[in-house]
Amino acid sequence: MNTYTDYIQEIEERKIQGLNPKPIDGAELLSEIISQIKDLNNKDRADSLNFFIYNVVPGTTPAAGVKAKFLKEIILAESVVAEITPAFALELLSHMKGGTSIEVLLDLAVGSDEAIAKEAAAVLKTQVFLYEADTDRLEEAFKNGNPIAAAILESYAKAEFFTKLPEIAEEIKVITYIAGEGDISTDLLSPGNQAHSRSDRELHGKCLISPEAQDEIKALAEANPDKSVMLIAERGTMGVGSSRMSGVNNVALWTGKKASPYVPFINIAPIIAGTNGISPIFLTTVGVTGGIGIDLKNWAKKLDAQGNVVLDEAGEAILEEVYSVATGTVLTINTKTKKLYNGDKELIDISSSLTPQKVEFIKAGGSYAIVFGKKLQTFAAKTLNIDIPQVYAASKEVSIEGQGLTAVEKIFNKNAVGTTPGKVLHAGSDVRVEVNIVGSQDTTGLMTSQELESMAATVISPIVDGAYQSGCHTASVWDNKSKANIPRLMKFMNDFGLITARDPKGEYLAMTDVIHKVLNDLTVDDWAITIGGDSHTRMSKGVAFGADSGTVALALATGEASMPIPQSVKVTFKGEMKEYMDFRDVVHATQSQMLHQFKGDNVFQGRVIEVHIGTLTADQSFTFTDWTAEMKAKASICISEDATLIESLEIAKGRIQIMIDKGMDNKTQVLKGLIAIADKRIAEIKSGEKPALTPDADAKYFAEVVVDLDVIAEPMIADPDVNNIDVSKRYTHDTIRPLSFYGGDKKVDLGFIGSCMVHKGDMKILAQMLKNIDAQEGKVEFKAPLVVAPPTYNIVDELKKEGDWEILQKYSGFEFDDNIPKAIARTSYEKMLYLERPGCNLCMGNQEKAAKGDTVMATSTRLFQGRVVEDSEGKKGESLLSSTPVVVLSTILGRTPTIEEYKSAVKGINLTKFAPPHKQLVR
């Protein structure tokens, strides 16, 4: 056996990087370590004991199974280890969360040794991660008259695993640390280019902000051992962008507290804040770790003597500091008064950060324990045939007599579980809902698998209609990191019950389609709820929520999610699109017009955008729903006409059938089942039994936005505004500028057409523009590289059938080959067209990147600093986001086009058109 020797060698290699030993998750290694513990003369025995006690991953990992069984031997005196008494062995079992540890504890609790049974029962009473196999054993023992089983059930019914936990402190002292000015994206906390290391928590923690920031945070913590370091987004929102558990994990690693003395690198209870609060997805993730997220409101708009907002020369509101949170400021969170103080001075009410439900998360060390605890209490009470004692905070139920329902309120009412029967719920209600579709993406999937292991889940919940594990974020380059991570991820998820982009057995070709596009097809019901491990999980059918890897794991394991019903903002349209405009420009204009209408206040933030799209199919309208992530919305819902929805469902059925034909369905025939759901929904719409989802005519909205198509006179560009003197206004997605702003002379170094924001029509626009330029100029010459990454293979196949792919091939200098995928990411580009593999490509920023300091014109969604392009020493990299025709023309010219050049270039080309519905889409 040499597994241990290899492990020691790895430890020495990690020391060079300043890292501790990697936590053990493999059965073979831990078995060897146990053998060395049993050998009293083994030279490695002391180290082996240390590894066994302090360095094993808990839950359902193979190593956890081996550890639990050895601890059982010690408790039963079948093995004797002087350093691990039976009492200590039980304590170690109590920290293993679930899986084999619960199985062992149940064996002991219902065993013949009464003294051991009582001790095991005392530990079991503290555990919450029990599944059907565990509760079935407990129920059977109870019915057979086992008094220990009865005592455990009585404890569970009282939820003593929660009530006996210490109450949270009345006062929590914090010391502030400004992590950045303006919106802080999760890229700052967990960069996309470090995605490969997310499952190695200590290693990944090294990428938080910067080494200098880490040193500063460490110094603050060491100088203030009685305080928690609170990371702050000054004059911005914390955690915008991707929905990364790794971002919160990194913050917790540096500023939180250990979840268990026997589990390495898993920290909880981070405290974060932002002038404009925390992004909705990130706030959910904070709850997963039992942390606190605070909306500081420490900057406010300056008002004149008449109460009017004072504007600067650019017409934007001037902000004034209400109170200081400069780095090193000591503040107090009072959990009883629910206010934030500086000394004795009250600064702000923070009740929204300390709702009864959030306080429960803090007390329990995270939201998982509450979700599983409630299920366990319900099971116990039912088994004992008693009423459920009121232990947890009652769910808030808001029901307003005579008020209609928005679309999201209708969906939540349909999917709600555990609410008062017959009660109609409105926005603000706390709701537990069944989830229909779940998506896991490949750069957070390993973390999702870890979360599933930690909560001892082994199979997908039967409630879920379908779940998919993507391969798109690592599609561009099949490098050594991908080869190490992706196959084991696909095997885990395939075994768990998901449809996987790559077949662990290699029986079907890898599908690297962008996950959001796949989920958009798998969502075959406009009343469905989707949870996905990415902020762009925003479907054109039903309502979808981007989520962290932990929430995705919870949805996979339980088939449920919990959240308040969000408020909605209604978006409708008037006027007519000009023939030379593209729908992407309507999307950007929506954000621009909304900000203008509400004097700079983003009414979309944290709410559902209910867009009355009417006539665009799910493929085309996805461009709108996708962008709502950048509008900081919690989710979006497309209100479609009946005929349009039917067309979208038929398209989805065809694509699901392609997946079946490729051999991607599993033994439970999930994909076949989704086609049946789509057929049923189509029949309901056609018969009039259940038309397409619409809100009630008397529904109430937080705000209503009417987008005037008549005033959209030229292409619109989302600009990161990298040189804005006000740092807080850089990289915000809120700076939407007309094409003419650039005067036709801004140099463009690279163009990118790809990501989830494009559809088949965009590829056809590209092909037609190249044909036109060739016809007009006699050739196609690129003055800047153009990278093209179709979102799906279906699109490539359809373009091949229709002749458009042949056109793209004609003008390209590189075309992907799935038989020989790239092993090395590009570091430089020639002035030509690159036809890249379907997937995320440049938008993800973890593999391919533009050259440092480039100005990139892209159809992407991401303009964050360092994402698509990093800064060079002499120039800031910038990613300007625009429509496909603007990108194409910019690469042909090597600069931004004038409006005249643009109009000429798109003449006769079928751009993505949109006409508002002719009637109000309400019931």
Mean pLDDT in residue range 853-864: 94
Partners of 775 in beta bridges: none
In this structure, what token pair is assigned to residue 36?
């060395």
Give the model's pLDDT for residue 241: 75
How many Å apart are CA 154 and CA 269, to the nearest integer?
A: 30
Give the model's pLDDT for residue 382: 95
Give the model's pLDDT for residue 923: 75
Mean pLDDT in residue range 561-584: 95
Query: In whole numbers, what is the pLDDT of the chain averaged over residues?
Result: 93
Give the model's pLDDT for residue 308: 87
Non-local CB neighbours of 359 within 8 Å, separated by 6+ positions = 168, 335, 393
Q: How many CA atoms lie within 13 A of 2 on its CB side?
A: 3
How many Å apart are CA 888 and CA 807, to the nearest integer?
A: 14
Distances (CA, A) of 318 to 303, 379, 400, 463, 650: 9, 56, 38, 50, 51
Nearest in space to 262 (alpha carbons), one of 64, 448, 19: 64
User: What share of residues in the chain are helix, strand, coil (percent, to 5)?
Assistant: 40, 15, 45
Question: Beta strands of 351-442 (E only): which ranges?
Answer: 416-417, 430-434, 437-440
Whether the pLDDT of residue 314 is over 80: the answer is no
Question: Which pairing describes strands 833-835 and 812-815: parallel, antiparallel, or unpaired?
Answer: parallel
Partners of 258 in beta bridges: 267
Whether the pLDDT of residue 882 is over 90: the answer is yes
- Collapsed DSSP state (helix, strand, coil) of residue 5: helix
> Confidence class of residue 276 from pLDDT cuts 50, 70 and 90?
very high
Give the model's pLDDT for residue 558: 92
> Confidence class of residue 193 from pLDDT cuts 50, 70 and 90?
confident
Nearest in space to 105 (alpha carbons), one of 117, 88, 87: 117
Whether the pLDDT of residue 890 is over 70: the answer is yes
Whether the pLDDT of residue 325 is over 90: the answer is yes
Helices 114-124 and 100-109 meet at what angle, rounded to 10?
A: 140
pLDDT tens-digit map of 729-783: 898 999 999 999 999 999 999 999 998 899 999 999 999 999 999 998 899 999 9
Give the model's pLDDT for residue 426: 98
How many Å apart are CA 891 and CA 914, to the nearest integer?
A: 26
State the sign of the Cα–Cα–Cα–Cα dihedral 542, 543, 545, 549.
negative
Whether the pLDDT of residue 526 is over 60: the answer is yes
Whether the pLDDT of residue 1 is over 60: the answer is no
In this structure, what token pair is assigned to residue 219?
């110094």
Distances (CA, A) of 412 to 407, 492, 531, 632: 9, 31, 13, 21
> What letter would DSSP give residue 366?
S
> Confidence class of residue 243 from pLDDT cuts 50, 70 and 90?
low
How many Å apart are CA 787 and CA 563, to the nearest integer?
A: 40
Distances (CA, A) of 398 to 349, 370, 457, 467, 805: 22, 22, 33, 31, 53
Whether the pLDDT of residue 125 is over 90: the answer is yes
Nearest in space to 752 (alpha carbons), one of 891, 548, 649: 891
- Residue, of 274 and 306, whose pLDDT is higher: 274
Mean pLDDT in residue range 440-462: 89
**pTM for the whole structure:** 0.86
pLDDT tens-digit map of 699-731: 999 999 999 999 999 999 999 999 998 888 898
Whether the pLDDT of residue 76 is over 80: the answer is yes
Mean pLDDT in residue range 464-477: 94
How many Å apart are CA 299 and CA 177, to the nearest integer?
A: 16
Q: Which range has the worst mean pLDDT, 472-486, 691-705, 869-883?
A: 472-486
Which strand (E) or helix (H) includes residue 384? Answer: helix 367-384
pLDDT tens-digit map of 640-664: 999 999 999 999 999 999 999 999 9
Give the model's pLDDT for residue 573: 96
pLDDT tens-digit map of 603-615: 999 999 999 998 9
Mean pLDDT in residue range 873-899: 96
End-to-end CA distance of the chain: 70
Answer whether 491's CB lies under 8 Å from 497's CB: no
Nearest in space to 429 (alpha carbons), one of 560, 563, 287, 284: 563
* Number of Cβ atoms within 10 Å of the Cβ of 125: 18
What distance lies between CA 307 and its chain's CA centroid?
Answer: 40
pLDDT tens-digit map of 803-844: 999 999 999 999 999 999 999 998 899 999 999 999 999 988
Partners of 736 in beta bridges: 718
Whether the pLDDT of residue 149 is over 70: the answer is yes
Buried b (16+ CB within 10 A) or exposed e, 478-497: bbeebeebbeebbbbbbebb
- DSSP codes joined into one string, 74-139: HHTTSS-BTTB-HHHHHHHHHTS-BTHHHHHHHHHHTSS-HHHHHHHHHHHTT--B--HHHHHHHH
Buried b (16+ CB within 10 A) or exposed e, 182-199: bbbbbbbbbbbbbbbbbb
Residue type, 461: S
Give the model's pLDDT for residue 226: 95
Give the model's pLDDT for residue 921: 82
Give the model's pLDDT for residue 511: 87
Mean pLDDT in residue range 294-317: 88
How many Å apart are CA 278 and CA 352, to the nearest integer?
A: 12
Q: Which range has the worst mean pLDDT, 79-88, 166-175, 815-824?
A: 815-824
Give the model's pLDDT for residue 99: 86
Nearest in space to 608 (alpha carbons), one of 636, 645, 647: 636
